Amino acid sequence: METIEKTDIKKMKEDIKKMVEEQKTYINQRRTVRLVGERKMEPWVATMKHAQNREKLRVMYAAYGVARGKRFSYVEKHYPEENHPLNQYQHQIDKIIEKYKYEVSVEPQEE
């Protein structure tokens, strides 16, 4: 019996959605009390977490695109492929893709 490595795209997409929801709460916490209602964190903490989460989301979106077989110039279209800014995140993207890998056993086909 053979095994094939696959990437769990569905789980990656769910994690991206969770991070997007966190991002919305950070944006609201940066605003005044009158608009937010009750504050759960200080505005400067929300600002810092928002910036960190934004970078993580950018790398997650890039990893999602690469896992689906897309190139960086397709994920972020306003940069050429040769010197794309996502090249500096290549190590992080590889680690994220590796995190979502799983093995599937496959029956060998007879010819």
List the chain domain ranges: 2-106
Q: The pTM is what? A: 0.79
pLDDT for residue 69 is more than 70:
yes
Predicted local confidence at residue 108, as pLDDT:
77
Q: Is the pLDDT of residue 32 over 90?
A: no
Mean pLDDT of the region 72-91: 86
Q: Tell me what the mean pLDDT of segment 11-19 comes to.
A: 94
Q: Could you count the other beta carbons within 10 Å of the beta carbon of residue 39?
A: 13
Question: Which are the contacts of 67, defined by CB distance < 8 A and separation ≥ 6?
Answer: 7, 9, 12, 97, 100
Q: Report the pLDDT averaged over residues 45-55.
A: 92
Over 80: is that where the pLDDT of 18 sits?
A: yes
What is the pLDDT, as a whole number, of residue 50?
A: 92
8 Å CB contact between 72 and 79 = yes
